[in-house]
Structure 1
Amino acid sequence: MKEIEGKTTSGGKILLGAFLLLILSAVIFGIGVYKEFNVLIVLGIVLCVVFIFILPGFFTIQPNQAMVLILFGKYTGTIKKEGWHWANPFYSKKKISLRSRNINGEKIKVNDEMGNPIEIAAVIVWRVENTVEAIFDVDNYVDYVNVQSESALRHLAGMYPYDNTEDTHTISLRGSTDEVAEALKNELQQRLGKAGVIVEEARLSHLAYAPEIAAAMLQRQQAAAIIAARQKIVEGAVGMVQMALTKLSENEIVELDEERKAAMVSNLLVVLCGERNTQPVINTGTLHN
């Protein structure tokens, strides 16, 4: 359904006219009673009933609020202009907020792309854009947003791994927060668009392995970190050994045969790659002793 602008009248003008009508009805009723003229009495009562009938037509709208007007089941328009309004008293009125709202989702347990159980939660900022779709296309737009938000988060979690297990550029929930947030926002917008809702922001607020595998995954992460660190150490040590041999040869400090080079390389790698400080041994003999 297409949203259309409703038509109302200023509440102040109608209120002034209503009070004048009330005064007129009181005067006519009083004259009728005084002169015992039944026609004036009836006219005064009718004018008083009209005054009472006018009162339900008044309503106010605050900034970032809207009022949907319905006449005998037919949508007639939406009022978004703040102020005091008056409309046909037969209108059914549904007030709806256009302000931004937050959903601080509860932690839910799902499986990521690799099948690992994880805990995940999201914070979502949304607002109503189309009042007609929010009122008439879904039963309760607030419940609809809550249910679809959880469904979208579960679907998103199953699309990506929790973390990259190898040195790749694959998008992961932990390592690609911006990409995951954008994907979640797009997923929510597709689902909530039919309810006239605009998703302004969506981000993960909690992400962790489930308790039953958290310890094992922590050990795997620690092992991966140790391996990565040792690789850097070995690469640096090999470079240092190569530089030492090159400098010795270029400066003609000592001439080493292949066997002595191998021994020197072995000793330097032990010193550079060892986890503990080495204890030096001074050789007081010749190079070959």
Structure 2
Amino acid sequence: MKETGAWKLNGFVALLVAFVLAGLGAYALTLASFFPIIGVLFIAAAVIALSSITVVQPNQATVLTFFGEYKGTVRQDGIWMVLPFSARKKLSLRVRNFNSAKLKVNDVEGNPIEIAAVIVFKVVETAKASFEVDNYGEFVEIQSEAALRHVASKYPYDNFKEDGMSLRGNSDEVSAELALELQARLAVAGVEVIEARLTHLAYSTEIAGAMLQRQQASAIIAARQKIVEGAVGMVKDALEQLERESGVALDPERKAAMANNLMVAIVSDRSAQPVINTGSLY
């Protein structure tokens, strides 16, 4: 189905024609001879003219069908004269929100999470919204939940690796992907997705406590790895600078001892306590 414009005229013209026909019919009914038959015909024509009048509100469309055949859509607001005795269906073109329920989904690592999103959309193709699906509102709701489940299952809830995406750390990217998938699903219903945004994201209640501990442990491990990487670089630079600027040549045993002391001082959670070596007793 493809939307087309329906035939229409100014509705006030139809009102004027209907009043004139009704007046002529009433006058003819008062006359004798065969004029009452003409009066009935005038009144019938006035009824037909009145049946062709429809009112379109701002940001609303009227879909016209005549004996089961699609005859077009009227989008311009106002009062219009259209095809008489045609069936008319009103469709809102306003921007609408759909707030999904909290869905329980397993992320890519198998952890149960709760997720919800808000979808901002509007109807752009009235013919598709009317005839391609039974109810475009229910269609948007069901497809939104299906797309949200699919996108949520592709990523972990959290990821401490720099080269990986996660639902919590990359919410903007996940929302953009959700909007693209929704647009592909809802195009058949003539719906345009304006925005999709995550509104709720959390571990499921039955594992929330355990996953919080795991999350904290993963954060600590990730931080320690960064500290160790930095400490190794600092020790290496310190030894090279010491040999380069002081001219002191350290044997492998002394290098190992100094590297050990520096690593302990840098990596330790507590402040290092200096020990002064005053020499040997022997």
How far apart are residue 94 of structure 1 and its match? 0.8
Structure 2 Cα separation of the partners of residues 184 and 46 of structure 1:
60
How far apart are residue 179 of structure 1 and its match? 3.6
TM-score (norm 1): 0.84
Match of 1:141 in 2: 136
Match of 1:123 in 2: 118
Which among 78, 96, 100 is matched to residue 101 of structure 1? 96
Q: Cα deviations across residues 89-141 of structure 1 (Å, max 9, x unaligned)?
A: 31011111223222121111011122111111122222222222211121111
Which among 79, 103, 114 is matched to residue 74 of structure 2? 79
Counterpart of 1:219, as a letter, is Q
Structure 1 Cα separation of the partners of residues 246 and 151 of structure 2:
64
TM-score (norm 2): 0.86
- Partners of 2:9 and 2:80 within 8 A in 1: yes
Counterpart of 1:92, as a letter, is A
Gaps of 5+ in 1: none
- Partners of 2:95 and 2:122 within 8 A in 1: yes
Match of 1:157 in 2: 152
Counterpart of 2:163, as a letter, is H
Counterpart of 1:207, as a letter, is L
Match of 1:232 in 2: 226
Match of 2:17 in 1: 17
- Partners of 2:14 and 2:50 within 8 A in 1: no
Instruction: Go from structure 1 to structure 2 and tell me whether the alpha carbon gap of 1:208 and 1:26 turns closer, same or farther (over 3 Å shift).
Output: same
Counterpart of 1:133, as a letter, is K
Q: Cα deviations across residues 214-270 of structure 1 (Å, max 9, x unaligned)?
A: 222222221222122222323333333334434443444867555444443333332
Match of 1:286 in 2: 279
Match of 2:105 in 1: 110
Match of 1:212 in 2: 206
Identity score, percent? 52
Match of 2:2 in 1: 2
Q: Cα deviations across residues 168-221 of structure 1 (Å, max 9, x unaligned)?
A: 634432333344233322322232222222223223222221122222222222
Structure 2 Cα separation of the partners of residues 56 and 185 of structure 1:
42
What is the alpha-carbon root mean square deviation over aligned residues?
2.7
- Per mean C-alpha deviation after superposition, the further-off stretch among 183-192 and 43-52 is 43-52
Match of 1:28 in 2: 28
Counterpart of 2:229, as a letter, is E
Structure 2 Cα separation of the partners of residues 259 and 220 of structure 1:
40
Match of 1:273 in 2: 267
- Where 1:139 maps in the other structure, the secondary structure is coil
Counterpart of 1:157, as a letter, is A
Match of 1:199 in 2: 193
How far apart are residue 153 of structure 1 and its match? 1.4
- Where 2:83 maps in the other structure, the secondary structure is coil
Counterpart of 2:159, as a letter, is N
Q: Cα deviations across residues 72-101 of structure 1 (Å, max 9, x unaligned)?
A: 112122222222111233101111122322
Counterpart of 1:150, as a letter, is E
Match of 2:86 in 1: 91
Structure 1 Cα separation of the partners of residues 255 and 165 of structure 2:
46
Counterpart of 2:90, as a letter, is K
- Per mean C-alpha deviation after superposition, the further-off stretch among 144-153 and 154-163 is 154-163
